[in-house]
Amino acid sequence: MKLVAVTVKNFRNFVEAQRVEIEEDVTVLVGKNESGKTTVLKALHRLNPANGDSRKFDLVTEYPRWRLAKDRRNDDNLSATYPVVAEFTPEHDK
C-alpha cells in the first residue's frame, strides 16, 4: 500500500478539512509562520508514531481550543472525531 494523501480536520489549528497529496518522490511543505506546516507533520506522525506514542486522539489538547466548548454543547459524539485520515492505493508489481 502506498500513501497518496492525508486529510486533516478539527486538529490543532485546522478546522476545515485540508487535504495534502503525497508525491512519490518528494513532498515539500512551504508556508508562512503559523500556516500549519507543523500541524501537517504532527498529523502524519499520528498515523505511525515512531516513538510509540498513543494514536488516541486527545480531544482537550488536539481539538481546536476556540471551538471545543461550543462544539461539545452541540455534539454528543465529539469524541468519535477522526482528525487525521490517510488515503492509500495498492502498489502493483512492475
CA neighbor of 17 nearest in space, from 70, 81, 80, 90: 81
Q: Supply the pTM of this predicted model.
A: 0.76
Give the C-alpha separation, 67 to 14, whole Å. 11
Q: Where are the beta strands (DSSP E) in the chain?
A: 2-8, 18-21, 84-89
Alpha helices in the chain (DSSP H): 37-47, 59-62, 65-74
pLDDT in tens, the chain (94 residues): 888 899 999 899 898 999 999 888 888 899 999 889 999 988 888 887 777 666 677 888 888 888 888 888 887 677 677 888 999 998 876 5
